[in-house]
Amino acid sequence: MSERFTATVQAEILSHELASALSMRPVRGSRYRVTVEEVEETDEEKRAALRAAIQKGRDEIAAGHYLDGEAAFAELAVKHFPNRQR
């Protein structure tokens, strides 16, 4: 469960997004109680992010920005096990 926080704030510090969500324009000097809590991503948002990450990888491969598996492991071995004989 996400943490929830409630605060009382002056109208002047409300963000534009919050102020425009109100049915009436905030009056200068008035106070508002604002509650904030994290909202978890929906399954569709998670799928969209995954699709975007996959497409980014495909684009990088199409542009030639990749190492084949053997080259990648050889590079890791040299970096992390420099004294190891092959």
Tens-place pLDDT, residues 11-52 = 999 999 989 988 888 889 999 999 999 999 999 999 999 999
Tell if the pTM clears 0.75, that is, is over it: no
Q: Which string of DSSP letters, residue by residue, matches the chain?
A: ---EEEEEEEGGGS-HHHHHHSSSPPPTT-EEEEEEE--PPPHHHHHHHHHHHHHHHHHHHHTT----HHHHHHHHHHHH-TT---
Examine the pLDDT at 86 and tell me if it is beyond 80: no
**pLDDT score for 67:** 85
Kindly report the average pLDDT of the chain as a whole number.
91
